[in-house]
Amino acid sequence: MDLRVAFAGLTLKNPLLTASGTFGYGREAAEIYDLGILGGVMVKGVSREPWPGNPPARVARAPGGMLNAIGLQNPGLKHFVEVDLPFLRRYQTAVVVNVVGHDQQGFVDVVQGVTGQEGVAAIELNISCPNVADGLLFSQDPASARRLVQAARAATGLPLIVKISPNVTDPVALGQACKEAGADALSAINTLLGMAIDTARRRPVLGNRTGGLSGPAVKPIGLRIVYDLAAQVGLPVIGMGGIETGLDALEYIMAGARAVAVGTAVFRDPYAPPRIVRELGEELQSHGFENATQAWAAANPAAREAAS
C-alpha cells in the first residue's frame, strides 16, 4: 500500500503525525520505536522564552477522553533549536514546529528562529493562545488571527499551518481569514474548553479551573469541522481529535483530511502511532483503495471541488 501523501509543500511517507503536546519532542517514544515509522511529528508548542505552565492538577479524567491544562509549558526556542531539533533530525520523519506566543512578536520571533534550521518541514501556529494586548485568544478574533498569520507568513517561506480552535462560533470564517492571510494549510481541531469539579473539596479539579477536552469524545466534532473546512475553505487540512484506530484515521481522510494526527491515544497506548499507521494501510486495502490519496475526501465531494 502506497501511504505517501503530498500537500502544501509537504511530502509525508504516510499521513500519520503525532499531535502537538502529546508527544513532547519525541524522546520518550524514540526509546520504544523508530520515529522514522511516522509521517511526521508535530512538536510541543515552542515559545520565544521558556514557559512555566499552569499549577497542578494539570490533567483530569473525562468521559471518553481527558481534560488538560498544561499551560503550554516548554523550555523555549533556544533549547528547542540547540537540543530538541538536533535529536529529531536523526529520524526520517517530518518535523512540524508548533509555535505559541503571548503576542504577535512572540510568534514571529519563533517562526524566524526556526526558519532556515535544518530539519524543519513546516510550522504550525497554535492560535489558541491569549493575546496580552486584549486578553482574547487570537483564534477568537478573526481580525487578530489574520494579522498574526500575515506576520508569520512574512517571516517564513516554510509551509505554514494554522491550528483551528473548535471554541469559536464559526471555524470556517476563521479558516477563511487564515487562508486570506497566507496560510498554506489548516489543522483541526484543538481541544474543547471544559471543566471538572472536585465535589469533596468543593472546587474545580484543575489548578487552572478550566482545561481542554480531547480524546474519542471529541471525534464527531473534529470530523464535522474538518469536513466543513475542507469543503468551504479549500486549503489542505490535517485532521485530529479522538483518533485511536486506523479506521478513525480513514474517517478523517474521507471527510477531507490530507493527513491526520494522533494525540490523547498515546497516553493509553504508547504504541498507538505505529499501530495506526499499520491499521490505516489495512483499512485502505479492505475499503478498496490503492493508495492513501485515493481515499482523500471520498465522503466529501465539495472538498474535491474546492481543491481543484
Ligand X SMILES: Cc1cc2nc3c(=O)[nH]c(=O)nc-3n(C[C@H](O)[C@H](O)[C@H](O)COP(=O)(O)O)c2cc1C
> Under the rule (CB under 6 A), what is the footprint of ligand X?
19-22, 44-45, 68, 70, 72, 98, 126, 163, 190-191, 214-215, 218, 240-243, 262-265
3-state SS assignment for residue 184: coil
Cell digits of residue 207 = 489548578
- At its nearest, how many Å lie between ligand X and the CB of residue 226? 11
- At its nearest, how many Å lie between ligand X and the CB of residue 254? 17
- C-alpha pair distances (Å), 247 with each of 61, 219, 270, 284, 306: 24, 12, 18, 9, 25
Give 178 or 289: the residue with its C-beta nearer to ligand X.
178
Query: Is residue 80 within 8 Å of 46, Cβ to Cβ?
Result: yes
- At its nearest, how many Å lie between ligand X and the CB of residue 245? 12
Give 144 or 190: the residue with its C-beta nearer to ligand X.
190
Q: Which residues contact 124 (CB under 8 A, 6 or more apart)?
A: 20, 42, 96, 97, 98, 99, 161, 162, 163, 187
Question: How far apart, in whole angstroms, are the C-alpha atoms of residue 192 and residue 241?
Answer: 10
Catalytic: which of 72, 94, 123, 129?
A: 129
Closest to 91 (Cα-Cα) out of 46, 122, 121 = 121
Neighbour-count burial for 209-239, b at 16+ CB within 10 Å, e otherwise: eebbbbbbbbbebbbbbbbbbbbebbbbbbb
Distance of CA 122 to the CA centre of its chain: 12
Neighbours of 306 (CB within 10 A): 17
Give catalytic status of residue 178 as yes or no: no
Give 101 or 281: the residue with its C-beta nearer to ligand X.
101
Give 220 or 301: the residue with its C-beta nearer to ligand X.
220
Give 54 or 126: the residue with its C-beta nearer to ligand X.
126
- At its nearest, how many Å lie between ligand X and the CB of residue 299? 20
- At its nearest, how many Å lie between ligand X and the CB of residue 51? 10
List residues with catalytic annotation: 129
